[in-house]
Chain A
Amino acid sequence: MSNAILEVESLSKTYAARRGFMGGQIAMVRALSDVSFSVSAGEAFGLVGESGCGKSTAGRAILRLIEADSGTVRFKGESVFDADAGRLRRLRRQMQIVFQDPYSSLNPRRTIGQTLSEPMRVHGTGSAREISATVHEVLGEVGMPRDAAEKYPHEFSGGQRQRIGIARALVLRPELIIADEPVSALDVSIQAQILVLLRNLQQQRRLSFVFISHDLGVVRHFCRSVAVMYLGHIVERGPVPAIFDEPLHPYTRALRNASPVPDPAAKVTMAKLEGEVASALAPPSGCHFHPRCPHATDLCRRVYPPWVEVSKDRGVACHLYPAGSAAMSENRETTP
């Protein structure tokens, strides 16, 4: 546990959403419910799930870009939520974010050099000359030509803009990067370039990542452990090859089976998951997944399943795996 660079405990967040005619009614959206995980130093931790599952909200809540309602986040043992403005600024230097769409997150009127030096000026790290040297060094590190600093975002392709987005996150020499769908907007050949770049940076700088993605293939490639989210909850968490090869939670299994694989012999199991993700405005009673679950019982419809640690670093929230039972043998029956 002392090895953890980031510890997230019982993070919850509810949004008020206006509904009805002219937004006359207010409904509560439970975006995050009791989300807990920890990230070891130098580790890439994946948060995976479909639209609206809360994975991006979790990433932003960790950085206090949105304020969570309850829960704690500790970065190297220090509480992020209790930090005053000065401490928070210092913490944010060490925790940076990379967004999905580098075009909308780069200011089109500023040169790349201006965009990359701004965080250093805001945080007062170094003289103008040192800042300029860092900009050029980091541009080189992300595989951009030196003259990129004088250019504007529109002069670059999507892949190059994402390199710039990564460079901006790196200039303050952070230890943790929250990467929110960093390769989702990119073509596969460019996606692979960025993944290789992130892997190299991780190794060279000993960076830790919270890697948010909807793409299980990307997560399997980049992350060492992963949490699967559904309607604001983590439904399963564990080490990476195992969780995709032997998923325990029926939702993890469905997600795995629906993920297309470039092999006609392994066609997407069209034994498809029934129904759609329920609205977060009105999540189903009990286990939120029960209306789509082939194993749902009366208990699932009534009671949200407790978190069960099935092995040292693996847990699941599903009534199929009651606490203290031989959970793994259950799994053997249900997976071929």
Chain B
Amino acid sequence: MNEMIQNARVLEVEGLTTEFRIDGRWYPAVRDVSFSLARNETLALVGESGCGKSITALSIMGLVPRANGRIAAGRVLLEGRDLVTLDESAMEKVRGSAISMIFQEPMTSLNPVLPIGFQVAEALRYHTKLSEPQARARALELLEQVKIPSAARRFSDYPHQFSGGMRQRVMIAIALACSPKVILADEPTTALDVTIQAQVLALLAELKVETGLAMIFITHNLGVVASIADRVAVMYAGDIIEIAPVDALFRHPTHPYTEALLASIPRVDRDATDLKPIPGQVPPITAMPQGCRYAERCPLREPRCSAASPPLVALAGEPAHHARCWVRSGGEGRAI
């Protein structure tokens, strides 16, 4: 029974608030964010620059810079254990083994003066008791699993000898090395060309089926979300403003921001309909408005929107679909 519960929810983020200090005052960059992640599930965190999606990932990994950042509230439960309370040495053991991360730019995350096989093996040596030959053998298996062509021959090659797509595969191999429960992928395909992006997305989807991975996939690209995610959380100005299964989100976007975001994407599969840009811009972190943070850009704005922040509530008849909007999901019976 206990194991079933653990299987259901590998990661739970509860009420996470992460703040940064600017000119001596603390401002929340991520505000009261909650979500859970199940085994074999990919949750996309989507939003524009500064919405808090990457800060959410850094908070989960315990990588919020201490000089001017802090987790002010909330829990990050990995199989029931709260990572926020762990000290740095305990957290180091979690990072790269139970949770690992894939970054946008593989060239800056790989060490340029070490062969790639060594770098994969290093992760194993650090986190497991494998001997060096065992670690090397396992590293080669991993490079084959991420479909590096002639992996054995390229084992001793250096990062600069690999293309961007192949480097990202190496990063994925490192992330997989210790069979993590959760992978956090932060814009992993953003720097890649579209045909290579499609290959990496296909690889990640395959690995999910093979290993039952739980993945948080951070991206600004709703097209990528549609092809990789099981569930989607849309973030705006530090809040999750809508969270839903992927089909429901695209079929029935409910928060006006989600709707506007979808209407502002020029699509390759449709004739040039008029793009509808969102007027204005995201308020700066130091001057967040009272009430709904999207209100000043929102065509549905009502007086109550600026008065108080709307709660994230389930829509009527769609228990898995939540939105944070007074107008669209506000009072009882008003949900559409």
Q: Does A296 sit within 8 A of B, measured CB to CB?
A: no
Question: In the complex, which range does the number of interface residues on chain A fall in?
Answer: 35 or more
Q: Does B174 sit within 8 A of A, measured CB to CB?
A: no
Pick the contact of A255: B194, B199, B220 (CB < 8 A): B194
Q: Does B335 sit within 8 A of A, measured CB to CB?
A: no
Q: Does B291 sit within 8 A of A, measured CB to CB?
A: no
Closest Cβ–Cβ distance, residue B302 to chain A (whole Å):
22
Query: In the complex the two chains form, is A276's CB within 8 Å of B264's CB?
Result: no
| Bound CA span A270–B200, Å | 10
Query: In the complex the two chains form, is B227's CB within 8 Å of A195's CB?
Result: no
Query: In the complex the two chains form, is B266's CB within 8 Å of A260's CB?
Result: no
Give chain B residues whose Cβ lies under 8 Å from the Cβ of A216: 194, 268
Query: In the complex the two chains form, is A189's CB within 8 Å of B267's CB?
Result: no
Query: In the complex the two chains form, is B266's CB within 8 Å of A264's CB?
Result: no
Query: In the complex the two chains form, is A262's CB within 8 Å of B278's CB?
Result: no
Pick the contact of A258: B197, B247, B278 (CB < 8 A): B197
Q: Mark B167-209, 1 if CB is under 8 A from A, else 0.
A: 0000000000000000000000000011111110110010000
Closest Cβ–Cβ distance, residue A19 to chain B (whole Å):
12
Pick the contact of B264: A189, A244, A254 (CB < 8 A): A189
| Bound CA span A272–B197, Å | 10
Pick the contact of B265: A190, A193, A244, A262 (CB < 8 A): A262
Name the segment of A130-138, A168-176, A217-225, A313-321 touching the other chain.
A217-225
Q: Does A277 sit within 8 A of B, measured CB to CB?
A: yes
Q: Does B277 sit within 8 A of A, measured CB to CB?
A: yes
Query: In the complex the two chains form, is B194's CB within 8 Å of A188's CB?
Result: no
Q: Which of A179-237 contact B (CB under 8 A)?
A: 187-193, 195-196, 214-218, 220-222
Query: In the complex the two chains form, is B268's CB within 8 Å of A264's CB?
Result: no
Q: Does B281 sit within 8 A of A, measured CB to CB?
A: yes
26 contacts between A and B (CB under 8 A): A188-B264, A188-B265, A189-B260, A192-B266, A192-B275, A192-B276, A195-B277, A196-B277, A215-B266, A217-B223, A217-B265, A217-B267, A217-B268, A221-B272, A241-B271, A259-B194, A260-B221, A260-B226, A262-B225, A264-B227, A264-B246, A265-B247, A270-B202, A270-B205, A276-B195, A277-B195
Which residues of B are at the interface with A, using a C-beta cutoff of 8 A?
48-49, 163, 165-166, 193-199, 201-202, 205, 220-227, 246-247, 250, 260-262, 264-272, 275-279, 281
